[in-house]
A = this chain, B = another copy of it.
Amino acid sequence: MTDYQTSPLHRVRQRAVRAHYDRETVHAILDEALVAHVAFVAEGGPVSMPMFHARDGESVLVHGSRTSRFMRVLSAGVPLCLTVTLVDGLVLARSAFHHSMNYRSVMVHGIATSVSDDEKPRAMNLFTERVKAGRSTEARPANAQELKATQVLRIPLVEVAAKVRDGGPSDDEEDMRLAVWAGVIPVEQRLGEPVPWDAVSPA
């Protein structure tokens, strides 16, 4: 697979040594993240909207209620930026200045297009499968009314960049002998034991 041919405008400029453009790295980060932040300009200025996303090959899908403000704005074809960020560790250096964070992030610039009614059932399954593998064959599928109420948007993976920091602190040479603990506190996101919910919906 060839790398993403991201244009100079959307390539990583700050600390470009941390940039990655290969599909494997980008896909893995998108597939692990449970939330994406989508930036676009609405009537009140720029917005960074948290959204659940699902990757469909070489595009990313987001969805929402057809009546929501942000779906109306995004489906009109405005420029957007979808970012996912996984925090992997807190990096403690001997100097305050070199404290940092280990992370993996992906930024996608583009314009979303609406997923057609014909494609929508399959697209909806991709979201359900992200919640739990196999789940789309267990739960009652969306009916016509539910499909109609939902808007699914597709953002192509063309203008894409990943940025990754890992490893330990990068202290200055003259600080290496300071009697200060230095290292990494790992940060991990994990799933807990499933909690059944047998109650009827609260009134």
Chain A interface (Cβ within 8 Å of chain B)?
9-10, 13-14, 34-35, 37-41, 43-50, 52, 64-65, 68-70, 79-83, 85, 87, 90-97, 99, 101, 103, 105, 107, 109, 124-125, 127-128, 131-132, 135-136, 138-143, 146, 150, 167-171, 173, 175-176, 178, 180-202
Contacts and interface: CB of A to CB of B under 8 A. Distances in A.
Contact of A139 (B52, B90, B92): B92
Nearest to A192: B186
A109 B45 CA distance: 8
27 contacts: A9-B43, A14-B65, A37-B37, A39-B81, A40-B46, A41-B46, A45-B80, A46-B46, A46-B80, A46-B81, A50-B105, A90-B191, A92-B132, A92-B135, A94-B139, A94-B140, A95-B142, A96-B124, A96-B128, A97-B142, A99-B131, A168-B199, A182-B196, A183-B197, A184-B195, A186-B191, A187-B192
Given A13-B69, A90-B132, A169-B197, A85 B186 contact: no
Given A14-B64, A169-B197, 13 more contacts: A14-B68, A47-B81, A47-B107, A48-B82, A90-B131, A92-B131, A99-B128, A99-B131, A176-B200, A182-B198, A183-B197, A185-B194, A186-B192
A185 B196 contact: no
Give how many copies assemble into the complex: 2
A141 B96 CA distance: 5
